[in-house]
Amino acid sequence: MNFQYILVEPRYEQHIALIRLNRPKELNALCLELMAEVRDALKALDADDEVRAIVLTGNERAFAAGADIKQMAGKTAIDMLLIDQFTTWDTIKKIKKPIIAAVSGFALGGGNELVMHCDMVVASETAMFGQPEIKIGVMPGAGGTQRLTRVVGKVNAMEMVLTGKFITAERAYELGLVNKVVPVELYLEEAVKLAREVAQQSPLAIRLAKEAVLKAYDSPLSEGLEFERKNFYLLFATEDQKEGMAAFVEKRAPDFKGR
């Protein structure tokens, strides 16, 4: 897959694909073209049966320093409405395969929002998270006020969104924004390790389980539980359920085929 602003390795490892944001001079600022490439790459990997987990990363200095301010600076409200950039983000939200963010350096504004579109997050000790849009006279637009609040709670979200202050990786861990914090030289490796653990499971079970966890974000508990139950029943129609349970009984490792 050839792109201008990202590097994609669909076969980074068996069943694991890697997407690397690659605008280093601009700290991976998320221009519209880069976001369109991320969307297209994710869609292609989602449709690729060999891929069972996707790792999304930047570089050591920056995961992404937010939407491209230079690209937005002169725009009017109507320009922004017509550009309709958030439809791209909506597509990313709908990716069925698990996405693991490997974050080092800045994850700011749209960068932090992109992290929050991922399903799990491994951060380097040097990672910094923030929603600094307030400092440039705007506010988060790709879910920052909503997803962040659901994860870290009202007062913490308010502090980040209203002051624009960054938080450290350690604080992000305390607040539940990231799964683990590791030394900088290990952040990608640890994210891949997590991806490997996910990729060993039944892809169908992973898909329906991801869908069910995400359902918890935007439905009342009773609806979410109903949804979960249907997905649980559905998995008994898969060969992987038969294989997984037979393997347990026979005391051997399962061989999941994704059927």
Q: Judged by CB under 6 A, which stretch of 42-50, 75-83, 137-145, 189-197 contacts ligand CAA? A: 137-145
Tokens linked to 168: 């450290």
Q: Contacts with ligand CAA: how many residues (CB under 6 A)? A: 21
* Sign of the torsion angle spanned by Cα atoms 71, 74, 79, 80: positive
Q: Which of 238, 199, 183 is nearest to 99 (CA)?
A: 199
DSSP code string of 70-98: HHHTT--HHHHHHH-THHHHHHHHT--S-
Give yes or no for residue 68 binding ligand CAA (CB under 6 A).
Answer: yes
Q: Is 157 a catalytic residue?
A: no
Give yes or no for residue 26 binding ligand CAA (CB under 6 A).
Answer: yes
Rounded to whole angstroms, the Cα distance separating 116 from 147 reads: 7
- Shortest distance, position 186 Cβ to ligand CAA, whole Å: 23
Q: Which of 69, 158, 175, 235 binds ligand CAA (CB under 6 A)?
A: 69
Interaction with ligand CAA in 167-186: which residues (CB under 6 A)? none
Rounded to whole angstroms, the Cα distance separating 22 from 26 reads: 9
Give yes or no for residue 58 binding ligand CAA (CB under 6 A).
Answer: no
Q: Is 33 a catalytic residue?
A: no
Tokens linked to 20: 């690397």
Determine which one of 58, 66, 105, 110 is catalytic: 110
Q: Is 212 a catalytic residue?
A: no
Determine which one of 102, 133, 143, 190 is catalytic: 133
Determine which one of 17, 58, 101, 113 is catalytic: 113
Give yes or no for residue 252 binding ligand CAA (CB under 6 A).
Answer: no
196: Cβ contacts below 8 Å, ≥ 6 apart: 13, 16, 53
Q: Which of 37, 113, 119, 240 binds ligand CAA (CB under 6 A)?
A: 113
Tokens linked to 121: 């997050």
| Residue numbers at the binding site for ligand CAA (CB under 6 A) | 26-27, 29, 65-70, 106, 108-110, 113, 132-133, 136, 140-142, 144
